[in-house]
Amino acid sequence: MRGASSGKGYELSNTDEILVDRCQRGENKAFELLLQKYQRRIFHLIYRITQDPDVVEPLAQEVFMKAYKSISSFKGDSRFYTWLYRIAVNTCLSHRKRGFLEENRERQLEANISEAFPKISSMQSENPEQLFMKKEFLRFLLNCVNRLPEELQTAIILREFTGLNYEEIADVMQVPIGTVRSRIFRARSRLKEMMTPYADQNIM
Amino acid sequence: MSCSQYGPFVSLYLDDELEKDELETFIDHLGDCVICQKEIESLERLRSWLRTADAFQGFPEPNIDKAVKDLFQEDLNENEASGIQSLIAQEASPSRSRKKRPRARRLSWLNPFGPSFSFPFQKAWQVALPLVVAVFAVVWFYDRPGDWVDVHELSSAQVLTTALPEKDTQEEDLYVIQHTMHQPWVSLGDELPRIQLASGSSR
């Protein structure tokens, strides 16, 4: 069976559209299914932006609550996931403005890489020096991403970590596509400049 | 160092975001420009390391059951809170808010089908019902089952005896019940002439 009738004059053709339509008719179970589908992606996005595992769950809860309350006003003029990501990005940026400290992010970044390091060593048989170099490099790279200006950081995270295309990023950030092109280009240029210490080594 | 002419195109090329005519032009340019070729390689490496860092850092694992429970519990709490607040607001301003209350609600308890159900002559029913119940209660109280006598089983007058538990007399009080075809039903306890008879005899 292709699509389903929505009563809106056109057929719904994908899972999100059908689930959103059911949510708008009052089916809580449909929203539960949307939550199940996007929860991990939202956790991932929030973590990339905030770099703080302690705030991921409460912020994600806030994101889904906002989405649940405003689902009736979703007109379908964008994809559901870009609408949801927009809520997530704005929620993270608001959280940041509420007094997020740079020092905490630095410390958390170090802790995160330390926790991740065992995964690297178990997957690759390299000597300790090489592994150490890789660990330092990864830490430094993520630090650089988080030191980018907010608009450049959001654009590059949405592109590299979330996999959205330019049109979708424009929808999430509510800017023209030309602005997205510019921001991603500048973000990459800035990252390369920051990674200059590793330029002469066989990494970059 | 990036190509002065096509520098920004490299980033778009990497993301498959070039328009068709732009792509054709850029591919032609790549054939001659070593700088753009090296730039593509550099950005490919950057992307690879970003994704490696992303994969190895991971992210906290969500708990779907908890998220659902928290989401709908929080929504329920907010609805209850707003309901309580509106109730408090109504109590705080009695005159205006109570006047706005629909009249039907005051008598909603009289609606046997529930407050949201309406039917013809609902108001008349809601007024008549208590009256009917009251009359029935009065009649029931004075006319206990078993004390009625079918008029057709009696002759013109017949004396019935009954013991009244509240009376403490040696003689039984007798009540004469006169039934005629034309008299309405009466019950024991009505004020009727009393006839004292010898015990055991009745007429």
Of the listed ranges A41-50, A155-164, B38-47, B171-180, the one predicted with least confidence: B171-180
Q: Is the distance from CB of A187 to CB of A161 less than 8 angstroms? A: no
What is residue B39's predicted lDDT score, i.e. its pLDDT? 92
Buried b (16+ CB within 10 A) or exposed e, B52-84: ebbebbebbebeeeebbebbeeeeeeeeeeeee
Least CB–CB distance from B59: residue in A28, A56, A145: A56
According to DSSP, residue B113 is labeled T
- The answer for B 43-62 residues in CB contact with A (under 8 A) is 43, 45-47, 49-54, 56-62
Q: Is the pLDDT of residue B90 over 50?
A: yes
What is residue A34's predicted lDDT score, i.e. its pLDDT? 92
Chain B: nearest CA to A26, how far in angstroms? Answer: 13
Segments of chain A with pLDDT less than 70: 1-13, 99-126, 199-204
What is residue B163's predicted lDDT score, i.e. its pLDDT? 40
What is residue A77's predicted lDDT score, i.e. its pLDDT? 87
- The answer for A 24-53 residues in CB contact with B (under 8 A) is 28, 32, 35-36, 39-40, 43-44, 47-48, 53
Average pLDDT over residues B147-157: 47
What is residue A130's predicted lDDT score, i.e. its pLDDT? 79
- CA B25 to CA B23: how far, in whole Å? 5
Q: Is the ipTM of this complex over 0.85?
A: no
Contacts of B56 in chain A (CB under 8 A): 113, 116-117, 119-120, 138
- The answer for A 93-132 residues in CB contact with B (under 8 A) is 112-113, 116-117, 119-120
Q: Count the residues in chain A.
A: 204
What is residue A61's predicted lDDT score, i.e. its pLDDT? 94
What is residue A147's predicted lDDT score, i.e. its pLDDT? 93
- Taking the Cβ of residue A68 and every Cβ of chain B, the question of whether any pair is shorter than 8 Å is answered with yes
- Predicted confidence band at B72 (pLDDT cuts at 50, 70, 90)? confident
